[in-house]
Structure 1
Amino acid sequence: MSRTYLVTGASSGIGKATAALLRTRGHTVIGADLKDSDISADLSTAEGRAVLVSRARELSGGRLDAVIACAGVAQPDPLTIKINYFGAVATLEGLRPLLAAGTDPRALVISSIDSVHPTDSAIVDAALTGDEEAAVVASRAAVDRGEGQLVYSSSKAAVSRWIRRAAVTDDWAGAGIPLNAVGPGVIVTPMIQPMLDDPAMRKLVEQSVPMPLHGYARPEQIAPLIDWLTSPENTHVTGQVVFVDGGADAVLRGDRTW
């Protein structure tokens, strides 16, 4: 049965690959991105987030069967927390009423293996309390002291924790809407390729994200899991961060499950 999906970050990377897969399987996909998509919206701003919700309501006729929040950046900059956490949460919360009107509704956000790396507690705590201004200030402070890499890992740790908290609430589980995250390892995209082409940077990547099973992945290899998690077949998986990382999580954390 054909379903209606909204995918953010649909013009590149995992979002583009997921949208393409869903379309080949006969589904309707409403794409959102900064440009070159059905909805043009800047999710780093309150205005852009409002535009996303408004246009999604118009284009979908007021109902969605699934929302997949793929939009994200990996910059040592406060923009990262604004998009990766606040933009993602605003997407999912803003579109939840449209999901409630859908059939077998499902929701998913892209996290990262970086969510298990060191983080900045000030950034994470501010995000989880919904204080965007404080999260931006904490992110800027991390950059200023030479720890800009913590902004990305903190954004992904925060959104993963939000998923865990929100998924079991009345708004999500109580409404019959599974809410999950997928945590990729290193995905070969135009954004990451320059790092892999630099021997020194590639060594750092290999050390921080060891992937013993088949090495680095392509966006097309992540899309099938996203498809299943947001399909009617998924009736009971919720509140989970499913790593698609070639074994990196197991290498980094050993046999600890939490």
Structure 2
Amino acid sequence: MTRTYVVTGAASGIGAATAELLRAQGHTVIGVDLGGVEVAGDLSTPAGRTAAAIAKTMAINYFGVTEFLTALLPKLSLADQPRAAVVSSMASLQPVSADLVDAALDGDESRALEIGDQLAVTAEGGFLNYSSSKRALSRWVRRESVSEAWAGAGIPLNAVAPGTVTTAMTAGLLASPEGLAQVDAAVPMPLNYHQPASSIAELLVWLTSPANTHMAGQTIYCDGGADAVLRGDDIWSWNDAPRD
């Protein structure tokens, strides 16, 4: 059965790989990006999100994604076996700015961008912008996935979280020994090391296929084992009864 997919960021990286895979399977793809695709739209601005649905990190990674999906929801609800999946990151497991995450989840974009600008004056703070945007996105997916708007409409909503993906965006950082060492220390990947964009595309395609009927609110860490290394083997005992 052929389906119609809307793929954001379709001009490069994971988005381009996903669009290519879907087209190879015979599906219709409506690519959304700044240019070179079917629909040109700047998801870093409210006007751009609205136009795309009909360069700041938080604006793109969080508000651009969540508001775009929300704008598409009425159309998705009318589709046959609709699905939605977004790209988070294993950075969602790393240190964040709690204030920035809270502002995002509260829908306060101006406050979020203000905090982001304050953080961006240092390299460490700049990374907090990124990790906070991905933490907020994964939390939004978890919260919204079980709501009446999504689960009530029978629409699975999930996220994928890559490790270090080899794209044009990461090529410069990975090219230097210092950059490579920094990345590998933060994102240890014992299984097959750095990953191609196609490894995430394959997962996104399954999550948005009719085969996915009951997965909701999950952030799936397709990251070469980085999550398992960093969080260890026990992520369940938070709800266990206290031991004597």
Q: What TM-score does the superposition give when structure 1 sets the normalisation length?
A: 0.89
User: What residue is the counterpart of 2:120 in the other structure?
Assistant: 143
C-alpha displacement at 1:91, in angstroms? 1.2
C-alpha displacement at 1:223, in angstroms? 1.1
What number of residue pairs does the alignment pair up? Answer: 235
SS in 2 for 1:191: helix
User: What residue is the counterpart of 1:63 in the other structure?
Assistant: none
Unaligned runs of 5+ in 2: 237-244
Correspondence 1:175 to 2:148: no
C-alpha displacement at 1:134, in angstroms? 0.3
- Residues of 2 paired with 1:257 and 1:96: CA distance? 32
Correspondence 1:220 to 2:204: no
C-alpha displacement at 1:145, in angstroms? 5.0
Match of 1:127 among 104, 109, 120: 104
State, as a whole percentage, how many aligned pairs show the same letter. 51
User: What residue is the counterpart of 1:198 in the other structure?
Assistant: 176
Match of 1:257 among 222, 225, 235: 235
Unaligned runs of 5+ in 1: 55-77
Match of 1:107 among 64, 84, 88: 84
Correspondence 1:208 to 2:162: no
- Residues of 2 paired with 1:182 and 1:3: CA distance? 21
Q: Give the partner amino acid of 1:101.
A: L
Instruction: Report runs of 4+ in structure 1 exceeding 6 Å deviation.
Output: none
Q: What TM-score does the superposition give when structure 2 sets the normalisation length?
A: 0.94
- Residues of 1 paired with 2:164 and 2:199: CA distance? 12
User: What residue is the counterpart of 2:29 in the other structure?
Assistant: 29
C-alpha displacement at 1:45, in angstroms? 0.5
User: What residue is the counterpart of 1:158 in the other structure?
Assistant: 136
Q: Give the partner amino acid of 1:131.
A: D
Residues 43-62 of structure 1 aligned to structure 2 (within 5 Å):
43-54=43-54
RMSD after superposition: 1.0
- Residues of 2 paired with 1:256 and 1:241: CA distance? 17
User: What residue is the counterpart of 2:240 in the other structure?
Assistant: none
SS in 1 for 2:44: coil
C-alpha displacement at 1:20, in angstroms? 0.6
